[in-house]
Structure 1
Amino acid sequence: MNLDTRLDGRPRLDRRFPATLMAWRNLSRNRLRSTLAALGIVIGVFAIATLGVFGNVLQLSATDSLGDLGTQVVVSPNPEAGVETLTSRDLQEISRATAGKGTAVPLYTDRAVVTGPGTRTGASLYGTADPRPLFEADRGTIPASHRQGALVGSEVATRLGVGVGGVVEVDGTRYRVLAVLAESEGISPVSPDNAVVLPERAFGADGYDQVVIEARSGEAATDVARTLDTRLNVRTERVVVFEFGRILEQIGEFFALLNGFLLGLGAVSLLVAGVSIFNVMLMSTAERRGEIGVLRAVGVQKRDVLRTLLVEAALLGLVGGAVGAVLSVLTVFALWWATPIELAVVLVARNAGAVLVAFGFGVVVSLLSGLYPAWKAASERPAEALRG
């Protein structure tokens, strides 16, 4: 092993062979052992990165599927308190609470048999004068003020075989179809797919069955829900104010727990890899005990030997971590290609962070695993090392 001389006359490792090159040569002496140690890091980093990304993708996919659910509030009468419908006073309080924060849509609700050309089917009935905030048209046009005609859900239109301009009959009254509603893509307080939306005059009730509030933001929805609960439930709980954002919070808590569990599983495999590297470094330093003794006897500093051995452990972590991270990225993109997961859910900064954290964790585990064997070998007295 080449040496040069320090300014104080003591030898040190040749600058032409820095610690990284020497460490790489030492690992190359027993390629099988080094490969198996690095393989443990590969598996550990792959497990942490892949499970972390999978957890993020599941959470983001679930959140996206819920659409704008977090901005919706539903106010309905509380039958347990003897309240069957929402009064005009209730509607006034709801209008005041939502002013500037969202749109409140009063609804009549019911179930009925809807008849089409030669067939009939059951459907949910909604009565409202302002259907635009809650429904979207796939075909036809939703009127700004709903006073005549019917809006038919996609499933009902398919079962009845009707389209825009067709006629459906509900409770003996015929309505022309103004629009076929777009299919719902997430959870909603209303069920547009199996719905028929009629004008308010089709319902003979004195009060509304519920009010759906579309707030401008999740914070606005929370503020509206608190205000309504305070104003409408002064003495008794006359109405039920349900904020759908609570569902999102519960989902977020569930996925946080799931992600922690998955990352824990990956961390266990990485710790096992750390034990493997610890064993490899111990065996390597034991086999090279005489060589290290010679270096120390001719004056090579303790920190130079320590640095070289730590670089060996770091190289195992860097190579294993890089391979594990690349395999994780390839696996995630294979999942995207083979499943209906959206690419936008995969290409988020949080997923890149999970891969980088897994890679860094792998390198840190490798360094910690090699620290004690390196310190032990560098601290041994030259005379004892030469005796073997």
Structure 2
Amino acid sequence: MTETDQSGDDPGVRVPETEPTAAADPALGDRLARRFPAASLALRNLSRQRLRAGLATLGIVIGVFAVVTLGMLGTALQTAALAELGGLGNQVIVSPADGGDGLGARELGGIRQAAAGRGTVVPLKSGGASVAGPDGQSFAQLYGTTQPAALFGVDGVPEYLRQGAVVGDELAEGLGARVGSTVEIEGNRYRVVAIIDSEGTFSPIRPGSAVVLPPGEFVADSYSQVVVQANSADDARAIADGVRERLNTREERVSVLSLTSVLSRITEFFALLNGFLLAVAGISLVVAGVSIFNVMLMTVSERRGEIGVLRAVGIHRNEVLRTLLVEATLLGVGGGALGSVLGAAVVVGIALHTRLPLSAVFVPTNGLVALGAFGFGVLIALVGGLYPAYRAAWEPPVESLRG
């Protein structure tokens, strides 16, 4: 039987068809190289100079890391501070003007009109006395109001105080008092109905060492001050302006303090602090850009002959320029990504091991900081490689071949 008979000519013999295998397909790297030739050549060039490329990338990593860390920390601190002090920014404190004896019904009525629909008015009487408890005695500041919950803004304090006393946690600890205990003030005995948690309070007074009683327990008929808990910072400004218009038109009868202005100053301070920190961190990125420039310049000088050969065989100068710029961009992308991830991880680690809340770290502004630092790192790398790439691409091939 001939060779032809053993193959396809013999109808009794079936030769299996040859199926394409994975090895017959082009490799993934080859397909990517054909699709993105500049990127493939750039990666190959960088792999031949790993140490130099690694050092240049390290500069970008350090710069982006500094920007992300300082920027995110500054934003987190500002967010946490504003969250802690945000209640104060919504408060307006009205006190008698210099020489005034107190706030009477007329002043209280004007304040209620100004705050109508914008906040809660809390009239306060105040004084000082010695307070005795089960385990000791101490001097305390006394406040008289029927609305302790509106004044302090914490849970566990009654909305309306008819009888008994509300004691600050620091004073209660010193006196050995707890809910249900009895304290004695100037011969009068009061049952403790609540303990104020001073850590979560937003109030112009010191709640930790205070005792709140019903206003009827005070001899004075007038109020020493009025605290208005506004619904928002804008409402607080409107209430303050309204109180001044109603009560201080002809003469200065009351003193109005809006803590919104204090909060605005704090916000301005943190904005300046963040700008300073980012400027300092940005310097390190500029230094990294100089490092990229130096690396690219040395790379171009060492590869003049290679670039000359490419130009001589017909490679256009735009291809050379594109390849060198891709090399610089890859350094920026790698360093920027690594620096952003490390910076964010450090800030999260600081939050986990300190009292900085994680909610203050995971805010949209910090995401923009990380993305901005990454983009700035890539831009610095691109700018650093622009001149060396331009110089190499526009140099005549004859000059490049001469070295």
Q: TM-score over 0.5 for the alignment? A: yes
The structure-2 alpha-carbon separation of the partners of 1:143 and 1:48, relative to structure 1 and needing over 3 Å to count, comes to: closer
The structure-2 alpha-carbon separation of the partners of 1:320 and 1:186, relative to structure 1 and needing over 3 Å to count, comes to: farther
Structure 2 counterpart of 1:238: 253
Report the 3-state secondary structure (helix = DSSP H, G, I; strand = E; otherwise coil) of the residue aligned with 2:220: coil
Which of the numbers 215, 235, 247 marks the counterpart of 2:230? 215
Which of the numbers 189, 195, 198 marks the counterpart of 1:174? 189
Q: Does 1:324 align with 2:339?
A: yes
Structure 2 counterpart of 1:184: 199
Maintained 8 Å contact 1:137/1:179? no
Deviations 1:15-69 (A, max 9, x none): 3771111011111222111111110000000000111001011101111222411
- In 2, the alpha carbon distance for the partners of 1:118 and 1:305 equals 86
Counterpart AA for 2:321: L
Structure 1 counterpart of 2:104: 87
The structure-2 alpha-carbon separation of the partners of 1:229 and 1:252, relative to structure 1 and needing over 3 Å to count, comes to: same
Deviations 1:224-252 (A, max 9, x none): 01111222111333211111111211111
Give the deviation of 1:164 after TM superposition: 2.2
Counterpart AA for 1:51: L
Report the 3-state secondary structure (helix = DSSP H, G, I; strand = E; otherwise coil) of the residue aligned with 1:83: coil
Higher alpha-carbon deviation: 22-31 or 231-240: 231-240
Counterpart AA for 2:158: I
Structure 1 counterpart of 2:146: 129
The structure-2 alpha-carbon separation of the partners of 1:285 and 1:317, relative to structure 1 and needing over 3 Å to count, comes to: same
- In 2, the alpha carbon distance for the partners of 1:138 and 1:93 equals 30
Maintained 8 Å contact 1:66/1:186? no
Which of the numbers 267, 270, 274 marks the counterpart of 1:259? 274
Maintained 8 Å contact 1:67/1:186? no
Maintained 8 Å contact 1:75/1:211? yes
- In 2, the alpha carbon distance for the partners of 1:213 and 1:33 equals 65
Counterpart AA for 2:111: I
- In 2, the alpha carbon distance for the partners of 1:180 and 1:188 equals 15
Structure 1 counterpart of 2:384: 369
Give the deviation of 1:292 after TM superposition: 1.0
- What TM-score comes out, normalization by structure 1 length? 0.92
Structure 1 counterpart of 2:113: 96
Higher alpha-carbon deviation: 149-158 or 307-316: 149-158
Counterpart AA for 1:301: H
Deviations 1:343-377 (A, max 9, x none): 21111111111111100000000001101110011
Count, aligned residues: 371
Maintained 8 Å contact 1:168/1:177? yes
- In 1, the alpha carbon distance for the partners of 2:278 and 2:119 equals 40
Report the 3-state secondary structure (helix = DSSP H, G, I; strand = E; otherwise coil) of the residue aligned with 2:95: strand
Which of the numbers 112, 137, 147 marks the counterpart of 2:162? 147
- In 1, the alpha carbon distance for the partners of 2:147 and 2:202 equals 20
Which of the numbers 240, 244, 264 marks the counterpart of 1:249? 264
Report the 3-state secondary structure (helix = DSSP H, G, I; strand = E; otherwise coil) of the residue aligned with 1:260: helix
The structure-2 alpha-carbon separation of the partners of 1:143 and 1:283, relative to structure 1 and needing over 3 Å to count, comes to: closer
User: For structure 1, which runs of at least 5 residues remain unmatched after alignment?
Assistant: 1-13
Maintained 8 Å contact 1:129/1:200? yes
Maintained 8 Å contact 1:136/1:182? no
- In 1, the alpha carbon distance for the partners of 2:205 and 2:96 equals 16
Structure 2 counterpart of 1:47: 66
Maintained 8 Å contact 2:122/2:147? yes
Report the 3-state secondary structure (helix = DSSP H, G, I; strand = E; otherwise coil) of the residue aligned with 1:75: strand
Structure 2 counterpart of 1:113: 130
Percent identity, aligned pairs only, is 54
Report the 3-state secondary structure (helix = DSSP H, G, I; strand = E; otherwise coil) of the residue aligned with 1:112: strand
Structure 1 counterpart of 2:288: 273
Maintained 8 Å contact 1:152/1:179? yes
- In 1, the alpha carbon distance for the partners of 2:270 and 2:159 equals 40
- What TM-score comes out, normalization by structure 2 length? 0.88
The structure-2 alpha-carbon separation of the partners of 1:137 and 1:319, relative to structure 1 and needing over 3 Å to count, comes to: closer
Structure 2 counterpart of 1:201: 216
- In 2, the alpha carbon distance for the partners of 1:115 and 1:155 equals 14
Counterpart AA for 2:46: L
User: For structure 2, which runs of at least 5 residues remain unmatched after alignment?
Assistant: 1-32
Give the deviation of 1:337 after TM superposition: 1.8
* Deviant stretches of 4+, over 6 Å: none
Higher alpha-carbon deviation: 235-244 or 368-377: 235-244
| 1:338-377 matches, cutoff 5 A | 338-377=353-392
The structure-2 alpha-carbon separation of the partners of 1:283 and 1:347, relative to structure 1 and needing over 3 Å to count, comes to: same
Maintained 8 Å contact 2:46/2:53? yes
Structure 2 counterpart of 1:9: none
Which of the numbers 306, 312, 323 marks the counterpart of 2:321? 306
Maintained 8 Å contact 2:286/2:380? yes
